[in-house]
Amino acid sequence: MNKTIDFSGFEKKTKITFKDKNLLKQAFIHRSFINENGNTGLSHNERLEFLGDAVLELIVTDFLYKKYPTHNEGELTALRSALVNAVIIAEVADKIGMNEFLLLSKGEAKDTGKARQYILANTYEAYVGALFLDQGYDEADEFVSGTLLTKTEEIVSKKLWRDAKSLVQEKAQEFVGVTPSYKVLHEVGPDHDKHFTVGILFESELVAEGKGKSKQEAEQSAAQNALKIKNWLD
């Protein structure tokens, strides 16, 4: 049963031992687990995710500000968006083994697609929030630096940081003479945790789709996917 997960395994993997073990466990509790298992004595991880999101943004912003002293605000914002991105964060979370410790309902546990990706990204943020509460900013900074910020060089070298919407508009006008438009194809989830699927269209042609926790994030994802499909990433 999920309730019996031994989080000391995760502590060994990360080499970070929590003072408050309940705080660590709470970071991994998805809302669906509480709904299915009733009163476990702990709440789900959404408040920790809210806190962790802000801590993570500050850590990434501080890092980029210092690392790239000649970049302007727009470039730094695009770089930060490329790092604090659900797909990248989910990759990092999976790499450090978070997937093995998730506390989910039976239904959620079966879904290993895009929904799991968002759960992993949210769990990473919740863990950052829990670590900040348990051990302070410096420990959270060290954890993020050792897991997520190591992706910076790859993002810069592959130019993944560029504003995909601006780039796809420039390329579409140059090569096919159209201005792309975006359409929300699907949205799921409660107001506080919406997930959007957005399509990018060249006139009436649906070129690609993208997903995100906001319409803006989904549009950027769709634009990035269109650039790959059209082979417009130089």
Tens digit of each residue's pLDDT (9 = 90 or more) over 173-188 = 999 999 999 999 999 8
Q: Answer whether 168's CB lies under 8 Å from 180's CB.
A: yes
Q: Is residue 51 part of a domain?
A: yes
Domain count, the chain: 2
Q: How far is CA 221 from CA 19, 167, 224, in A?
A: 38, 12, 5
Same domain, 78 and 186: no
Please say if 62 is a catalytic residue. no
Of the listed 108, 125, 134, 217, which one is catalytic?
Answer: 125
Question: How high is the pLDDT of residue 67?
Answer: 95
Distance from C-alpha of 175 to C-alpha of 37, rounded to nearest angstrom: 55
Q: What is the pTM of this model?
A: 0.73
Please say if 153 is a catalytic residue. no
Same domain, 120 and 210: no
Same domain, 18 and 38: yes
Question: How high is the pLDDT of residue 63?
Answer: 97
Distance from C-alpha of 152 to C-alpha of 159, rounded to nearest angstrom: 10
Domain boundary pick from 95, 128, 157: 157
Q: Is residue 234 part of a domain?
A: no
Residue 1 has pLDDT above 50, yes or no: no
* 37 assigned to a ligand binding site: no
Same domain, 140 and 193: no
Per residue in 188-198, pLDDT (tens digit) is 888 777 889 99
Residue 2 has pLDDT above 60, yes or no: no
Of the listed 53, 108, 134, 163, which one is catalytic?
Answer: 53
Q: Answer whether 154's CB lies under 8 Å from 133's CB.
A: no
* 122 assigned to a ligand binding site: yes
Q: Which domain holds residue 174?
A: 164-229
Give the length of the chain: 234
* 36 assigned to a ligand binding site: no
